[in-house]
Amino acid sequence: MTPPHLPTSDRTALVLTGGGARAAYQVGVLKAAAEVLPKRAHNPFSIITGTSAGAINAVALGASANNFRLAVKKVEYLWSNLSVDQVYRAGYRDLLRSVFRLLVSLFHRGTGVRAPLSLLDTAPLAALLEGAIDFSGLERRLRGGYLDAIGVTASSYSSGESVTFYQSDIEGSALQPWQRARRRGVPTQLSVEHLLASSAIPTILPATRIGNSYYGDGALRQVSPISPALHLGAQRVMVVGVSGNPDRPPEVHHESHSPSLAKMVGHVFNSAFIDALENDMDHLTRINELVGMVQNEAPYADTGALRLVDFLCINPSIEIDQLVSRHIGSLPRAMRTVLNITGATPQGGGTSLASYLLFEGGFCRDLIACGYHDAMEQREMLEQFFQPHSAVSF
């Protein structure tokens, strides 16, 4: 099926990475993209893939792919008016109940009784997604050709694989399930369960059962965040990250004490949510350079499976952790107590952990504004990217 917005020879993908509340940054970038495009433009991406909270953004966009600007406005409204109680239960009683269940699990070989173990209960998030995302609309957009494919990545706790669940209306051999080392693609009908699984930060949010297996956050063991989009046929890729600019050297601080628990956990989360994307972008850049050299020297040479992939990558121009201290006070008191105890505060050096859990409107609006500013700073690159057959690498 030929999408009404792109020629089949120019399949453009949007890759939205994970990072809990940090994913609000992506909305600002998409808002800028919507302003660059004509007012009533259809979705400019024939393929959309998402991981963790980025998967929620991906499916929300896909469900309204017939009007890209309207789709972005819907997602912006959702994030701008978000509050913690819409995502997880964070009262003292809720947290004590979770701790009690963790203790009880010690007498059941470390497994949960009747429900998966986690610090936080995401029943409110399930209800929010059921009401906010029109999955039947997603199917209509795919059937109508506004979108070729959409993928949501989660991590299987049973096999250790990075599994991309994808939905498409394309028939034939164009989109076949794939199997690679520790990663595979599975065709399916996407649902709330896939979004909950993809965004289930380990130990913090509960694993979700899909079929016969439990799944957790898609960023876990995802060595190549761009790979699902390429398997789904992407020839050009726009990637929106959630970490600070990787080209800027990190600041080195003198530490007078050992790292807090929250700082160590945040470090682990960063390695899952951030490092894989940066490595993948480096890998893609090197492949493009190699293919470009071969084509320059021997234009008709066969490069096999290697091919040029034009891409545009937009990352935050600031360290998102810097915004946390401004908004951490908006969290429920019980949650602030937990963060203080574990050192997830500016004083404890563990603000990275807090940034993943700060699902509050003020924090999200600041991230949206940052994403919009960063994308508009690259407006020329953005406009060039949306020109058919343009070559952009950033």
Residues noted as catalytic: 52, 217
Q: Which of 386, 375, 327, 324 is nearest to 351 (CA)?
A: 324
Q: CB–CB of 377/343 below 8 Å?
A: no
For β-strands 236-240 and 47-51, DSSP reports them as unpaired
Two structure tokens written together for 300 = 């008709």
Find how far residue 388's CA is from the centre of its chain: 26
CA distance 19 to 221: 14
